[in-house]
């Protein structure tokens, strides 16, 4: 802990903004310690695991929320400027027919996740930390919750930055008519983030549920919403080769697509932390 404090102090001396990435609901270690808070199997009540053998905490398990808040406060207290939350979602890959969310019966996934967002925001507001959320890339263009609870409009009110992971390799064939999205890296990012920007500044949303309002059969599917600065949007861009080669041309194209969408910031991601210097311009 002392070494980390010293390291963060050195970063700040160099005017470097420090972000702590906090993975949330995919947490095999915590699920092992507290199986009563985990996503369970319908068939036998044991802890459910995805196809990689990883387990998740139930999104509606409020005792876990308290742990995440405590962890976040500690991260900010030792010197991180921003807290970036990843895996803020329901599971997506695994034996889904054998899954039981025992903490959240009677509530939609999108609604359950929004309750968590609100709790996180309200609990961490006094710290002054900047908060950001990582979302699936298709939250920029889909109006449903992708069956993982993530809806762009439901996240916007609670975070300083929203980061859709618009990696072209992760889009399905024929997305927006492109046979292989890997061959259209500029187009994928520009289309996705332009649409997200439009939604941020829009005064209405077609989301089925919004702001805690439940939709009945006679209730309109369009709701008014707060207008948000489009530069809350800060996408994750792809700097790793998957399904295609990603070099300076491809990375730079995604960066330019972000700017051409009217946005002013972005992240690069490579799981090996090996980044393409040639794609970057000195400021």
Residue 237: the pLDDT is 98
Using alpha carbons, select from 230, 229, 238 the residue that is nearest to residue 262: 230
Identify the residue whose tokens are 């996408």. 235
pLDDT at 211: 46
pTM exceeding the 0.85 threshold for the entire prediction: yes
Full 3-state SS string of 109-173: HHHHHHHHHHHHHHHHHHHCCEEEEEEEHHHHCCCCCCCCCCCHHHHHHHCCEEEEECCHHHCCC
Q: What does the pLDDT read at residue 104?
A: 86
- pLDDT per residue as tens, the chain (283 positions): 669 999 999 999 999 999 999 999 999 999 999 999 999 999 999 999 999 999 999 999 999 999 999 999 999 999 999 999 999 999 999 999 999 999 988 889 999 999 999 999 999 999 999 999 999 999 999 989 999 999 999 999 999 999 999 999 999 999 999 999 999 999 999 999 999 999 999 999 875 544 444 444 445 567 888 999 999 999 999 999 988 889 999 999 999 999 999 999 999 999 999 999 999 987 6
Q: Are 110 and 52 in contact (CB under 8 A)?
A: no
Do residues 164 and 235 touch, judged by C-beta distance below 8 A? yes
Instruction: Tell me the H-state helices in 178-265.
Output: 185-201, 248-260
CB 32 within 8 A of CB 55: yes
């Amino acid at each position: 802990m002392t070494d980390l404090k010293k390291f963060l102090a050195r970063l700040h001396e160099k005017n470097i903004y420090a972000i702590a990435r906090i993975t949330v609901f995919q947490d095999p270690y915590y699920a092992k310690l507290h199986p009563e808070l985990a996503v369970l199997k319908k068939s036998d009540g044991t802890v459910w695991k995805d196809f990689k053998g990883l387990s998740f905490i139930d999104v509606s398990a409020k005792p876990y929320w308290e742990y995440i808040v405590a962890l976040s406060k500690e991260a900010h207290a030792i010197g991180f400027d921003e807290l970036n939350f990843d895996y803020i979602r329901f599971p997506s890959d695994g034996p889904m027919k054998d899954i039981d969310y025992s903490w959240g019966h009677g509530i939609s996934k999108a609604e359950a996740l929004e309750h968590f967002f609100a709790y996180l925001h309200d609990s961490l507001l006094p710290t002054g930390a900047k908060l950001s959320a990582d979302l699936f890339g298709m939250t920029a263009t889909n109006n449903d919750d992708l069956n993982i609870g993530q809806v762009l409009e439901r996240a916007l009110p609670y975070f300083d930055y929203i980061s859709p992971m618009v990696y072209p390799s992760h889009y399905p064939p024929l997305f927006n008519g492109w046979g292989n999205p890997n061959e259209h890296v500029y187009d994928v990012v520009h289309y996705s983030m332009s649409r997200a920007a439009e939604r941020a500044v829009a005064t209405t949303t077609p989301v089925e549920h919004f702001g805690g309002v439940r939709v009945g059969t006679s209730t309109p599917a369009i709701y008014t919403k707060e207008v948000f600065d489009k530069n809350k949007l800060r996408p994750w861009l792809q700097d790793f080769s998957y399904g295609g080669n990603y070099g300076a041309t491809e990375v730079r194209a995604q960066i330019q697509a972000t700017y051409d969408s009217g946005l002013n910031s972005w992240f690069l991601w490579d799981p090996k932390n090996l980044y393409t210097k040639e794609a970057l311009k000195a400021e």
